[in-house]
Amino acid sequence: MPFSGNRTQYVAVAALIASMLIWSVSGIAIKHALLVLPPFTMIVMRFVPSVLLMLIIGLVRRKHSLFCLQKMNIKDLPLFLIAGFCQPFLYYILETFAYDALNSPTIAETLLSTSPLLSPVFAAVLLHERVTKYNIIGILISTAGVFALTLAGSTHYAIGNYWGILLAFAAVSAAVIDSVMMRKAPLQYSSLSFVFYTQLISLCFFLPIWFIKEGPQTILDLRFQIADLEVQTALWCVAYLTVFASVTAFILFCFALRKVGVTQANAFNNIRPVFTALWMILFFGEHLPAAKWIGIGLIIFGLFVCQKQEKVSKS
């Protein structure tokens, strides 16, 4: 759907910016949580409350279109299974192995930020979504900005295991396929319903692995460490990930993607490193070299180009 500039589309863009702003802090929160919590324990502690929270909201706000929770039609189960398997389940696992295989976290972050490049391909093939020249040009400009922002000033570019590149692109593909499923989901399902069912299904995939690798004892042991400042920080980080990253941001992104389409919605993923850089400036006093500011400018300019509506010739 081309960006038409009406009120609904502006609301969608605002929702996309808000979701990216929330997710830009997620990496920092995850990093702090993992200092104390094993990875699958952190995931379970994040998604069990998020699923319960959405269930409560859906039951309380039954008549509100955005927040009501509809019963799933059994014929739509395959769609939700694919979405839930792709993200967060498969994406999180592939992302972890990609970071492990690639020597440079900078290279890993850059490769994992390429979803806007793959989105037009998946959208055109699986959804027959119209991709305009402005979408392509804007995404290329914005992605060039991401490379400038993440790579400028870095000194370590050794790739490491080349399987890491494949894993990173597989993770990005899983995230884009999840976006395609969002778009394909019947509009009878509210944004909350789609996110609720996909996270519930993802949790069903995560739980057996958690029981085998870490188990409930990891959570029970936290009772004896609750006075520890690092444990308290980790729990606050998990609370942020639950309420904001897993519920609020996903619902906003789902709502917006259904309005503007897969290609334009995923283009906004390029703005996440911009927000992360700004957080680092505001709260950690980080200094950005000129090349990074140029990268930020390219990202923002590319997003404007991507949203430009192609003129339709009158016959």
* pLDDT tens for each residue of 13-57: 999 999 999 998 887 888 888 889 988 999 999 999 999 999 999
* pLDDT tens for each residue of 239-297: 999 999 999 999 999 999 998 899 989 999 888 888 878 887 887 777 778 888 888 88
- When pLDDT is cut at 50, 70 and 90, the band that residue 104 belongs to is low
How many CA within 13 A on the CB side of residue 148? Answer: 21
Q: What's the mean per-residue pLDDT of the chain? A: 85
* pLDDT tens for each residue of 171-187: 999 999 999 999 999 98
Q: What is the pLDDT of residue 311?
A: 59
pTM above 0.85, yes or no: yes
Q: What is the pLDDT of residue 270?
A: 85
* pLDDT tens for each residue of 254-270: 999 998 899 989 999 88
The pLDDT of 139-146, averaged and rounded, is 88
Domain ranges (residues) in the chain: 7-306
Percent of the chain predicted with pLDDT > 90: 39
The pLDDT of 74-101, averaged and rounded, is 90
